[in-house]
Amino acid sequence: MSNPITSFKRDVKGLFSKYAADMKAVVLPLPDGSGTGILNLGDYDSVKLFYYPVQVAIHGYDYDDNVRSTLSDAQLLRDPADASQFVTSAPHPMPPDNRLPQQAIDLYDQWVRDGLQP
């Protein structure tokens, strides 16, 4: 039996519940470059809109200061402009206090691969 497609409500929203209040004032550039918007980690439309900056942020601890990682290539975030490369840094790793559990990061990545379902 195959795994069900991941969804925001069932799988992703809970990953960020602990951080949603602290992150409610984060302003990010809109993906289309038309201005800025506020990230709300508890809101599907907001997380869907800003899915990639969130993905970069939660992968922000993948590498140490010497750009080394102990993760497998399958767990690292690939550069969307060049899939043979990895995203090796994040302007603001999230959460700021420590890395999310790898299982949570993997689940978020699966949600993105599954098409950002509500």
pLDDT, tens only, 24-75: 878 999 999 999 999 999 999 999 999 999 999 999 999 988 888 989 999 9
Average pLDDT, the chain: 91
Asked if the structure places residue 77 within a domain, the reply is yes
Rounded CA-CA distance 1/21 in Å is 37
Asked if the structure places residue 107 within a domain, the reply is yes
Q: Residue 85 has which token pair?
A: 């490369």
The total number of structural domains in the chain stands at 1
Asked if the structure places residue 117 within a domain, the reply is no
Instruction: Tell me which residue range forms the domain holding 63.
Output: 8-111
Asked if the structure places residue 3 within a domain, the reply is no
Q: pLDDT grade, residue 96 (50/70/90)?
A: confident
